[in-house]
Chains A and B, each alone.
Chain A
Amino acid sequence: MGKGIIGLYEHADDTIKAAEKLKDAGYRATIFSPVPLVHEIERSRMGERPNYIKWFVLIGCLGGLSFGFLFTLITSAMYVLPRGGRPIFSMTPTLLLSYETTILFGVLWTMFGFLVIARLPVFFKKSYDPGVKVDSFGVLVEDLQTDKHKEIERIMHEFGPTEVRLIENEQP
Chain B
Amino acid sequence: MSGNPIKAIIERLKEFRRPGYYKNYDHKWTMVIDLDRCNGCEACVTACYAENNLPVVGKEDCGNSRVMNWIRVERYVAGEYPDVKVKFIPILCQQCSKAPCELGCPVYATYHNQDGLNVQVYNRCVGTFTCATYCPYDVRRFNWFTYKWDAPLEQQLNPDVTVREMGVMEKCTFCIQRIRAGKDKAKDEGRAVKDGDITPACAQSCPAGAFTFGDLNDPESRVSMLAKSRRRFRLFEELNTEPSVIYLKKVFADGGGNPPVGGHTLAGGHPPVKEGHGG
* Contact flag (A, B; Cβ within 8 A): yes
1/0 per position for B85-123, CB-CB distance to A under 8 A?
Answer: 000000000000111101101001011100000000000
Partner of B103, one of A76, A79, A86: A86
A85 within 8 A of B: yes
Q: Is the CB of A81 within 8 A of B111?
A: yes
Smallest CB separation, A90 vs chain B (Å): 9
Q: Of B10-18, B63-71, B215-223, which stretch is located at the interface?
A: B10-18
Q: How many A-B residue pairs have CB under 8 A?
A: 50
Q: In the complex, which residue of chain B has the Cβ closest to the Cβ of A91?
A: B17
B127 within 8 A of A: no
Q: Is the CB of B99 within 8 A of A80?
A: no
Q: Is the CB of B20 within 8 A of A85?
A: yes
Q: Is the CB of A82 within 8 A of B111?
A: yes
Q: Is the CB of A84 within 8 A of B16?
A: no
Interface size class of A (residues with CB under 8 A): 10 to 19
Q: Is the CB of B19 within 8 A of A86?
A: yes
Majority SS at the chain B contact face? loop
> Chain B residues near A79 (CB, 8 Å)?
108
Q: Is the CB of B108 within 8 A of A87?
A: no
Partner of B18, one of A81, A84, A87: A87
> Chain B residues near A70 (CB, 8 Å)?
none
Q: Is the CB of A84 within 8 A of B21?
A: no
A83 within 8 A of B: yes
Q: In the complex, which residue of chain A has the Cβ closest to the Cβ of B110?
A: A83
Q: In the complex, which residue of chain A has the Cβ closest to the Cβ of B277?
A: A85
> Chain B residues near A76 (CB, 8 Å)?
16
Q: In the complex, which residue of chain B has the Cβ closest to the Cβ of A77?
A: B16
Please measure, in the bound complex, the distance between the C-alpha atom of A79 and the C-alpha atom of B21, giving whole angstroms: 13
> Chain A residues near B278 (CB, 8 Å)?
85
Q: In the complex, which residue of chain B has the Cβ closest to the Cβ of A81?
A: B111
A residues apposed to B, CB below 8 Å: 76-77, 79-89
Q: Assuming A76-B16, A81-B112, what are 17 further A-B pairs, CB within 8 angstroms?
A: A80-B21, A82-B20, A82-B21, A82-B111, A82-B112, A83-B112, A84-B102, A85-B98, A85-B112, A85-B242, A87-B16, A87-B19, A87-B20, A87-B21, A88-B16, A88-B17, A89-B13
A sample of 7 inter-chain contacts (CB < 8 A) reads: A83-B103, A83-B111, A84-B98, A85-B278, A86-B19, A86-B103, A87-B17
